[in-house]
Amino acid sequence: MKTLKLLLFCTYLLSANLSFAQTNESEAYLSTIESEDLRQLLYVYASDYFQGRKTGELGQKRAVNFLKEFYQNRGIKAAEGTEDYYQKMNLNIKGKKVATENVVAIIKGSEKPEEYLVISSHLDHIGIHDDQINNGADDDGSGTVSMLEIAEAFQKAVADGKGPKRSVVFLHLTGEENGLLGSKYYTENPLYPLANTIANLNIDMVGRTDPKRESSNPNYIYLIGSDRLSTELHVLSEEVNKATVNLDLDYTYNAHDDPNRFYFRSDHYNFGKNNIPVIFYFNGTHADYHKPTDTVEKIEFDLMKTRAQLIFATAWELTNRENRIKLIKN
């Protein structure tokens, strides 16, 4: 059995390497994701104007409008089934009915538009506590603006006639801080068929360094879930990384017995439980987690840029390879 698994693994590596002409083509667009652009976006998105982006409140409404205008200004279309980019819902939060919305944009595939890669991050945070605004620069302002830069890179490829072969859905999720409610709503009311969703790349906290990593290679990212549903996704992810930014991929929190249970604590989980392969990109926690001190000044933008470039390159390969990735057979 081990010999058979090794043979299958090597066969996949060969096919993956053959497809990496796609990765070479992506390099021009990967390089458009820049630290300064991320910085400018995050100084806006994690500012006091958005009042901590608590689900259903004024700051969150300002946040979704900011996201909508970003996509409109770059000619990236609203997803079908939305109301001008908004997937509206009423959530039950602590016994109260809260009106809120996901923000969903799409770049249609040129050859297989009926197959969808979903890239996600959560747009909300925890709001104001004790008269202090929790701006959530890392959680999850970092994931949000990384996704915007990734979307813009894909749109530049479209303008050059080199857009993705499969469709890319950019899904900004509400209600994550209240129990992954926005992703739960999306997977129960999908705008595009879950059966046609090839994978979910979820970006939640990618702007800082985990204190546990300070004595080791600082150029890292924690990956969670990449091998749980698809060996092909895991291998593809590693090969893309080697061919592009060469980060240290740390699987510490991917362990099934991880006491933190991070696999169950961000929005990819609702895709994974629907048998959709996932990767959760995460920098780990820090002393400023869910505190007013999670500010833009503490974000490491060069590292954040490299992480965003890895996610873009992985998305590029997933959307342009000949065959969609396969699930592990039970």
Parallel, antiparallel, or unpaired for β 166-173 and 112-122? parallel
Give the chain's length: 330
What's the pLDDT score for residue 26?
A: 87
Q: Check residue 329 and give its pLDDT.
A: 79
pLDDT value at residue 330: 62
- What is the percentage of the chain residues whose pLDDT exceeds 70? 93
Q: If 0-12 CB within 10 Å is exposed, 13-18 middle and 19+ buried, where does residue 236 land? A: buried
> What is the number of domains present in the chain?
1
Q: What is the pLDDT of residues 237-292, one digit of tens each?
A: 999 999 999 999 999 999 999 999 999 999 999 999 999 999 999 999 999 999 99
Residue 233 token pair: 């996704």
CATH of residue 293's domain is 3.40.630.10
Mean pLDDT score across all residues of the chain: 94
Q: CB count, 10 Å around CB of 123?
A: 31
**pLDDT (0 to 100) of residue 25:** 80
Range of the domain at 188: 2-320
208 domain residue, yes or no? yes
Residues near 65 by beta carbon (within 8 Å), at least 6 away in sequence: none
User: Mind listing the pLDDT tens digit for each residue in 187-203?
Assistant: 999 999 999 999 999 99
pTM reported for the whole predicted model: 0.94
Q: Which amino acid is at 272?
A: G
What pLDDT shows up at residue 1?
Answer: 41
**329 within some domain:** no
Q: Rounded CA gap, 137 and 114, in Å?
A: 35
In a domain, residue 328? The reply is no
Mean pLDDT by 10 residues, the chain (330 residues): 42 46 78 98 98 98 98 98 98 97 99 98 98 98 98 98 98 98 98 98 98 94 98 98 97 97 98 98 98 98 98 98 91
Q: Is residue 327 part of a domain?
A: no
Q: What is the pLDDT of residue 23?
A: 61
**H/E run at residue 144:** helix 143-159
Residue 170 neighbours by CB under 8 Å, 6+ apart = 71, 76, 104, 105, 106, 107, 119, 147, 150, 151
* 189 domain-assigned: yes
Q: Name the residue among 60, 45, 80 with its Cα closest to residue 190.
A: 80
Question: Tokens 């739960």 map to which residue?
Answer: 184
* pLDDT given for residue 113 in this prediction: 98
Beta carbons of 71 and 151 less than 8 angstroms apart: yes
**Residue 1: other Cβ atoms inside 10 A:** 5
